[in-house]
Amino acid sequence: MKFVDEATITVEAGKGGNGCLSFRREKYIPKGGPDGGDGGDGGSVFVEADESLNTLIDYRFTRRFKAESGEAGSGRNCTGSKGEDLVLKLPVGTTVVDVDTNEVLADLTHVGQREKIAQGGWHGLGNTRFKSSVNRTPRQTTKGSEGELRQLRLELKVLADVGLLGLPNAGKSTLIRSISAARPKVADYPFTTLVPNLGVVRTEAHRSFVVADIPGIIEGAAEGAGLGIRFLKHLARNRVLLHLVDMAPWDEKTPAEAALTAVRELEKFSPTLAEQPRWLLLNKLDLLPEEEQEEACQAVIDALGWEGPLYRISALNKSGLTPLVHDLQEYLDARAEAVAEEPELLEEERRIRAIIDEEARENLRRLKAEMRARREAEDDLDDDDFDDDDYDIEVEYVR
């Protein structure tokens, strides 16, 4: 199944039923008065987080959804039945954005969360409602109102505690294979990873965290080079980023240059995301002669001006991974406890994530517009040719 992390759909809530114009007509009751009932309310449209889903592919083929309209009222003061609500099932981690206003209507962060995104129309009033002492036979009714019509953009971001950042072939997939049960494709060439992979790292019986491996970025990714920056948005919800640097690079770029490239592209994508907690992992040190390792590591540290957490590892032979995993678990547990004790920290996290989301959204809109303009100029292609979902792997949690 294809991994689709973005889709545009149109939803329409149901129309409210019209009020009824009716008078009571029975034998021996010549002036029975009005008995027109109200219409029923239109159905609303909801979205709900479903843990069994992990892609938006269903919303790439069916793009228009409409809730049921309310029935009209009828005589004998009968109210029309309410239109049935429409519930759209979405993966956990999906953000629903109004295309016209850029308003975030829903952010589905936990299983079972349900949010209303389109209000159903209100019912019309039957003529019984307009009866008064001076108007015994009202012929006035009202029509039901139209339901809300919205064009929505669905944005899926994988939910993980830790995100892996680095250039292609830095060893991100090897690392996630070494510390979890996930088995992403690993090979000795760039862009082996085409879509995000998730792995659950278990440190003890009831302690674990989730790691996200995304495709590597290259110089010029912010301008669309390589796989571009579209997958960087999946790092927006991570509490810590692990920046992997290949200390034995396959190309002519030095480790220091590679590290700076990744940081620069991250800053172009989202300055706020670049300021979030980040740990530096110097990988593949086992491929360097022992006497050269310290000098090579120091060159990267100096180039970045690095003062944060630093780990010297080899993801392939698992050297240095035990203290890394232990420290990550301790850091995440401490952060979770702090958030539980101080709700203000959670609000601050949400505020920062909202800023990152908006920065990412704006950059992706700009990049897509530029790519579409270039391609249309060259080939006069249709907009539908730019659905960037042509991949054949699905994001899965592997425990």
208, 198 contact by CB (below 8 A): no
Cα within 13 Å of Cα(307), Cβ side: 1
Q: Among residues 63, 220, 260, 91, which one has the least CA distance to residue 159?
A: 91
Which two three-digit tokens encode residue 184? 């992403």
Asked if residue 171 belongs to a known ligand binding site, the reply is yes
Give the CA dihedral 299, 304, 309, 310, nearest 10 degrees: -20
Asked if residue 195 belongs to a known ligand binding site, the reply is yes
Asked if residue 166 belongs to a known ligand binding site, the reply is yes
**Distances, alpha carbon 144 to alpha carbons 108, 119, 128, in Å:** 31, 13, 16
- Direct distance between the N- and C-terminal alpha carbons of the chain, in angstroms, rounded to an integer: 20
Asked if residue 284 belongs to a known ligand binding site, the reply is yes
Asked if residue 101 belongs to a known ligand binding site, the reply is no
Which two three-digit tokens encode residue 256? 């220091």
E strands present in the chain: 6-12, 45-50, 64-66, 86-91, 94-98, 104-107, 114-118, 149-156, 162-165, 197-204, 207-213, 240-246, 278-283, 310-312, 397-398
The angle subtended at Cα 216 by Cα 214 and Cα 222, nearest 5°, is 105
Asked if residue 216 belongs to a known ligand binding site, the reply is yes
Asked if residue 316 belongs to a known ligand binding site, the reply is yes
Asked if residue 167 belongs to a known ligand binding site, the reply is yes
The owner of tokens 């590597």 is 216
Tell me the H-state helices in the chain. 58-61, 172-179, 255-269, 271-274, 290-304, 321-341, 343-379
Give the CA dihedral 332, 115, 95, 366, nearest 10 degrees: -150
Asked if residue 334 belongs to a known ligand binding site, the reply is no
Distance in angstroms (rounded) separating the CA atoms of residues 30 and 136: 13
Which two three-digit tokens encode residue 356? 């990152």
Asked if residue 168 belongs to a known ligand binding site, the reply is yes
Asked if residue 180 belongs to a known ligand binding site, the reply is no
Helix axes 321-341, 172-179, angle to 10 degrees: 80
Asked if residue 286 belongs to a known ligand binding site, the reply is yes
Asked if residue 197 belongs to a known ligand binding site, the reply is no
Asked if residue 192 belongs to a known ligand binding site, the reply is yes
**Distances, alpha carbon 266 to alpha carbons 157, 222, 289, in Å:** 17, 8, 31
Distance in angstroms (rounded) separating the CA atoms of residues 353 and 330: 22
Asked if residue 314 belongs to a known ligand binding site, the reply is yes
Asked if residue 173 belongs to a known ligand binding site, the reply is yes
Asked if residue 127 belongs to a known ligand binding site, the reply is no
- Annotation: binding site for GTP: 166-173, 191-195, 213-216, 283-286, 314-316
- Annotation: binding site: 166-173, 191-195, 213-216, 283-286, 314-316
- Annotation: binding site for Mg(2+): 173, 193
